[in-house]
Structure 1
Amino acid sequence: MVPPPPEPPALPVTLPASTATPADVPRGVVAADGSARAPSTKPGVRSSSRTTTRLELKDVRRAIIRTKRKHRRQKVLGVLITVLLLAGLVGTVIYLTGHDRNGRDASKNTSGAGVRTQHTVLLQVRAPDGSALSSALLAWDSQKKSAAVVLVPDRVVAQVPGSGAQPFGLAVDQPGGPAISRSTMADLLGVRVDASWVLDQAAFIHLVDALGGIKVDVDVDIIGKQGKDNVVLVPKGAAQQLNGVRALAVLSYRAPGEDELSTLPRFQHVLAGVLAELPSGTDALAALAGKIGKGSEISSTGTVTSLLDGVRTDAAAGRNVYQIMPVLTVDTGGAASYRIEPVGVTRMVNQVLAGSRLPGRFDKGNRVLVLNQVGTPGLGQAVRDKIVAADFVFVDARNQKPFGRTKTIIVVYDATPKTNVRASQLATALGLPQAPVQVGSRDQNIADVIVYLGSDFKP
């Protein structure tokens, strides 16, 4: 049973109290490398072979009742996180385990072994508040000469490393935002995100103007304020020639009654207009990016310019594939929000992103949840990178009180040789090959392995 989520603004969902504070080294537990470990003698720490205690049914009922009462008074974001965690957990687990609704292993539709030829770039335009206004994942395969553009709803809820479940668009506003945003997108889709280009609104305007303007099909009159009056900023019509200011107006416009999904085709037209005007060659693209200056953040100029040159070429040849990320609408009583649609996302990844799929994504027993009992900010991203690099699936990293843990502990849910090997590999990936492993009773279905992070972990 999934434990009830805490009241906002504490976004991370705490696991049952039974898994909150495992014994440091219980009897009968071995280190990840297979060596025997003695019980902990640290003052104040109890040694116990029992790491979990099932919640009583009446406690669950009481918790659910309390949660419902509290949530009636919470803001939309809090309600959103609760609904998504309760309604979307099963679908997310289906996606993470790589099986479609018929039980078929989705990993069998892969691009084959060998040198990776597809690369990806996350392109984002920031809103004035620092969150993402528009986001797209661009992919290009240099061998197949094929490009794909996935349009991303910024209100799709994702697990942000170190911050828990949030609308994806908020990730880029975290400290180290572009890197956090790339990791969040990678974990959401299960694909590598090689680089990113993030533009604030002024930089986007500068980009379009540096291109000499762009041509965009505009589906509706774009209404905006001019002084106190509402005026038509951009009229409806095909192949409208737009400067940077007008292109931004189209990109950011939402007509009365529209939800975010309705605006994504508009974003597609603007993006297609930009791609059509990009100069040819990586040197010219690097020079263009250099002209924009402040407000433009490129994580890897070589990766971004190479990919954009390929996508630009395919766009000119009509080979680009545009697709909106498959999502399900979640009604929270306010602005529409979304969660991924597992079957649709698996199908999309197989069709257009198979060459960038993260290894280990569909291995059973591979999902890792990290509970940070150190409390140091920023550890979520650091531990996530080590976990994913070792071909594990990162579920989330959350702060877990009490803080002050010194020794990292890995909790698994069976003692089979395969699980022991996996635990050893995870401990080594974290740089802690001697980390003790506990076998817990399964009273949660969020992850296959839980890491209780101590101060012995070094980013």
Structure 2
Amino acid sequence: MNDRQDPYVQYDQYGQPMQLVGYDEYGQPVYQQVQPQQTQQTQGYGYDPYAQPEPRQQPIPPQQGYRSQQGYESQGYESQGYEPGQGYDYGTGQQPAVDTTQQWIPQQSPPRDQPQPPRQPAQEQPQRPVPGPRRPASGEGEYRTEQFSFIEEPNEGSEDVIDWLKFTESRSERREEARRRGRNRVVSLVVALALVVVGGVGYLWYAGKLPGVSGPDGGSTAAGGAQQRNVIVVHLHNTGGSGTSTALLVDNVTTGKGTTLLLPNSLSVSNDDGTTTTLGKSVDDDGSDGTRQALGTLLGTTIGATWRLDTPFLENLVELVGNIEVDTDVAVPDTKKDTAPLVSKGKDQTLSGQMAVAYATYRAPGEPETKQLERFGQVMQGVLEKISDDPQAATTTVRNLGLVLDPPLTEKDLGASLAKLAAHAKKGDYRTTVLPVQSNGTLSAATATGAIKDVLGGSVKAPEQGDTVRVGIRDGSGKKGATESARIALVNGGYSVVIGEKPTGTASSQVTYGEAAQKSKAEEVAKTLGLPTSAVHQGKVADNADVSAELGQDYRIT
């Protein structure tokens, strides 16, 4: 037995041979257990009778966290032996099989005279997969940048293809954008045409010029149908003298015409308490609001607002519009001077503010009231012909007057109304007329029909549910106090009374209604007056009344 110890072979504590495979970074020998598959013996270093065949050397993975006897931690030891051709294959990028056999670094060599434990055949240790790839150490197969080379080979054909793709893409985008713009233009055009059509139809509907279609007043705008009118009542107060003058400024939106309807002060109107008074007294006593309601009830129309115009403001208004031209029918003397008249008689007379006021309020001795009213109407139409038809400019003129307007009239509303009337006057679609009134202050059925129905309109419309029934009284009884007795009875019954002209002697009393819907109301009127229901019949009623009551000789005063 060769008792010389082989320096390249050692035995572990179980007597298994361990072969020297290298040294660690601290110079300590590293042994690996000999696998039984190998039968090679160590040559040139002596013979070990207990040596087992050496296993084929496999690369040893780096020992993470290995600590030697001296306490030094060995990380990434790269000097572990392996045969050529094994290890990492850099050409395929595949990792080699890793041998996980035990390694042992001897602390001391066992003494020669100590008996060795019996040696058992080495058993092959099962291989376990190593979590994660082995990272080559520096100097032992480390990846370096010089091992790789990226070569760019220019290809003119590929560049041409890219350019062609860019060209076709940009052309497609331009075509799509052109189609999109075209669609947007078509949609915008269709929307604009639709707005124009809707706006035109709406204007025709609002103006009442659309045949067979109801306008904003609810009536048909066809021939003979109801028409839309805007009405303002104006009261001229003569601060230098006495008395007032009243006129209705009517803007017929449907026909595009304007009218000044002059109202005599002798016109009979009813107060809120049902009493009868004249228009002149109503303006002085009831004020603007009460008079407007009384006129609306009498004439069967809606009056939007009241414009109080004192003579100093009329003078300023004429000065602001730049004087007016009027065909005067009389020479107006100058009350302050005994020389030449203030206003001369003739055509196309230019009137200043002072002259216009003098002419509008002048009434010669013995002249009827209607003559003075006609002069006032001439001045008003002359002002409308000179004032601007632009609502903003007309509002500015009204604002410069410094008027204190009665509600609900405002400077903007008055300016807009005057501008519309001025547009009619400048085109020649304007007229001035006087409402005919009988000597007793009542309206004649024959003469008032034209003015009320044609100029004002709307009085023929049946009252809505809940409206006060207007009853026109005509006293043909010949009895004193019959009219007043009937008026008191009707007012106490909740009716609105309109006093009409007195007819010639009537034998029997009768109550007349125009529409079938008014029959029941006419019967109630007959009961209120103490008349039998047999006196009620359908027929012609006054335009400013819903039901007409004609008192005959059989009417009994209560």
CA shift for structure 1 position 123: 1.7
Aligned: 1:395 with 2:505: no
Q: How does 1:340-359 map to 2 (within 5 A)?
A: 340-354=443-457, 356-357=458-459, 359=461
Change (3 A) 1:276 1:263: same
CA distance in 1, matches of 2:254, 2:470: 32
Structure 1 residues 181-221: Cα deviation after superposition (integer angstroms, max 9, x where no partner): 21122122111111221111112112112222212221111
Contact 1:368 1:396 in 2 (8 A): yes
1:145 pairs with 249, 253, 256, which one? 256
Say whether residues 1:128 and 2:239 are aligned partners.
Answer: yes
**The residue matched to 1:327 in structure 2 has which SS?**
coil
- Quote how far apart the aligned CAs of 1:439 are: 6.7
Judge conservation of contact 2:324–2:352 (CA < 8 Å) in 1.
yes
Which structure has the bigger radius of gyration?
Answer: 2
- Please say if residues 131 and 173 of structure 1, whose CA atoms lie closer than 8 Å, have aligned partners that are also in contact: no
Q: Tell me, in whole angstroms, the C-alpha distance in 1 between the residues paired with 2:529 and 2:233.
A: 39
Structure 2 Cα separation of the partners of residues 439 and 218 of structure 1: 52
CA separation in 2, counterparts of 1:130 and 1:303? 30
Partner of 1:325 in structure 2? 435
Q: Distance in 2 between matches of 1:295 and 1:131?
A: 21
**Paired residues of 1:203 and 1:296 also in contact (CA < 8 A):** no
Q: Which amino acid aligns with 2:381?
A: A
What is the CA distance between 1:448 and its match in structure 2? 7.5
Question: 1:238-387 to 2 correspondence within 5 Å?
Answer: 238-294=347-403, 296-297=405-406, 299-301=408-410, 302-330=412-440, 338-354=441-457, 356-357=458-459, 359-360=461-462, 366-367=469-470
Asked whether 1:187 is paired with 2:297, we answer: yes
1:8-27 alignment runs, 5 A limit: none
The separation in 1 between residues aligned to 2:383 and 2:238, in whole angstroms, is 19
Q: Which residue number corresponds to residue 311 of structure 2?
A: 201
Q: 2:200 matched to which residue of 1?
A: none
State how far apart, in whole Å, the 1-side matches of 2:258 and 2:305 are.
Answer: 16
> Of 103, 109, 112, which residue of structure 1 is paired with 2:225?
112
User: Which blocks of at least 5 consecutive residues in structure 1 are unaligned?
Assistant: 1-108, 331-337, 370-383, 388-392, 398-417, 427-437, 450-459
Residue deviations 1:54-77, cap 9 Å, x none? xxxxxxxxxxxxxxxxxxxxxxxx
For residues 297 and 290 of structure 1, do their structure 2 counterparts lie closer, same or farther at Cα, with a shift above 3 Å needed? farther
Distance in structure 1 (CA, Å) of the matches to 2:262 and 2:296: 14
TM-score by length of 1: 0.52
Q: CA RMSD in A?
A: 4.3
Shift in CA distance, 224/173, structure 1 to aligned 2, threshold 3 Å: same
- 1:248, 1:346 → 2: CA distance? 32
Distance in 2 separating the partners of 1:300 and 1:123:
11
Could you say if the C-alpha distance between residues 246 and 182 of structure 1 is closer, same or farther in structure 2, counting changes exceeding 3 Å? same
> Hey, what's the Cα distance between the residues in 2 that align with 1:440 and 1:219?
49
Q: Secondary structure at the match of 1:184?
A: helix
**How far did 1:282 drift?**
1.6
CA shift, 1:110, in A, is 9.2
Residue 441 (str. 1) matches residue 496 (str. 2): no
Question: What is the Cα deviation at residue 347 of structure 1?
Answer: 2.1
Tell me the distance in 2 between the aligned counterparts of 1:296 and 1:245: 22
Q: Give yes or no for contact 1:360–1:366 (8 Å, CA) kept in 2.
A: no
**Partner amino acid, structure 2, of 1:190:** G
Distance in 2 separating the partners of 1:232 and 1:131 = 21
Per-residue Cα deviation, 1:239-286 (whole angstroms, up to 9, x for no partner): 222221110100011112211122232222211111111112222222
1:220 maps to 330
In 2, Cα distance between equivalents of 1:199 and 1:157: 22
Q: Deviations over 1:105-153 (max 9, x none)?
A: xxxx99536xx62111112211339975222112112232122221111
1:165-188 per-residue CA deviation (whole Å, 9 max, x = no partner) reads 22212222235x111221122122
- Rounded Cα–Cα distance in structure 1 between residues aligned with 2:269 and 2:223: 24
Counterpart check, 1:210 vs 2:320: yes
Please state how far the C-alpha of 1:294 moved relative to its aligned partner.
4.2
Task: Provide the rounded CA distance (Å) in 2 between the counterparts of 1:257 and 1:362.
Answer: 45
- Please name the residue that 2:277 is paired with: 166
Q: Is the 8 A contact 2:398 2:414 kept in 1?
A: no
| Conserved 8 A contact 1:199-1:296 | no
Q: Deviations over 1:377-401 (max 9, x none)?
A: xxxxxxx9xx8xxxxx62279xxxx
Q: Which has the higher contact order (CA 8 A, sep 6+)?
A: 1
Structure with the larger strand share: 1
- Shift of the 272–298 alpha-carbon distance from structure 1 to 2, 3 Å rule, reads farther
| Percent of aligned positions that are identical | 25
For residue 339 of structure 1, give the secondary structure of its aligned residue in structure 2. coil
Match of 1:409 in 2: none
Measure the CA separation in 1 of the matches of 2:404 and 2:547. Answer: 41
* Structure 2, gaps ≥5 residues long: 1-221, 473-490, 500-516, 537-544, 549-558
TM-score, structure 2 length as denominator? Answer: 0.43
Query: Contact conserved, 1:191 with 1:358, CA < 8 A, in 2?
Result: no
C-alpha distance in structure 2 between counterparts of 1:131 and 1:362, whole Å = 40
